[in-house]
Structure 1
Amino acid sequence: MGVISLLWGIVSLVWMVLALIPLLGWGNWFLIPFAAVGAIIAAIGILFTAPANRGRAKTGLILNGIVIVVAIGRLVLGGGVI
């Protein structure tokens, strides 16, 4: 679960960078639910993984959380349109 959430977070991060480009801000509407699913996968990974092996899941949770915050901020600044 940790590897899946980490890869999900990396894909979300790349998508977020593309969505920061003007006129591609509409991608944030799809990015927020996508990153939320990644955060849920990471949380499940943290719950069901041994304490010594939680690093990847924690990193995935942090990446997806950052992406969600930045995407929401981008939507607020752009008025949710651009």
Structure 2
Amino acid sequence: MLNIVSILVGLLSLVIVIPSQIPLLGIGNWLALPLLAVGIVIGQLSSKNTGRNLNLVILAIAVVRLMLGGGVL
């Protein structure tokens, strides 16, 4: 059950992160980071690690985009 919740949180975060890849919309990545952290914690509590891995991949995408943009919008 926790794995499904973690996957749903990851998919919600993905909906936020995808449009945030467009220049000047990078603030969405900052909004997605806490949500991704919650998804990782929920996925860690689960017996399976699919949800956790999904959230980690999306987190890596968001962090790389923030690093490329200098962390500013």
User: What TM-score results when the alignment is normalised by the length of structure 1?
Assistant: 0.80
**C-alpha deviation, 1:36, in angstroms:** 0.9
Letter in 1 for 2:71: G
Structure 2 Cα separation of the partners of residues 39 and 70 of structure 1: 14
Q: Which residue of 1 aligns with 2:7?
A: 6
Q: Which residue of 1 aligns with 2:44?
A: 43
**C-alpha deviation, 1:41, in angstroms:** 0.3
Q: 1:76 aligns with which of 55, 67, 73?
A: 67
Deviations 1:26-82 (A, max 9, x none): 111121111011000010112xxxxxxx2xxx2211110011111111111001113
Q: Which residue of 1 aligns with 2:54?
A: 63
**C-alpha deviation, 1:11, in angstroms:** 1.0
Contiguous gaps of at least 5 residues in structure 1? 47-53
Secondary structure of 1:81 counterpart: coil
Aligned pairs (5 A) from 1:8-23:
8-23=9-24
What is the root-mean-square deviation in Å for CA atoms of aligned residues? 1.1
Contiguous gaps of at least 5 residues in structure 2? none
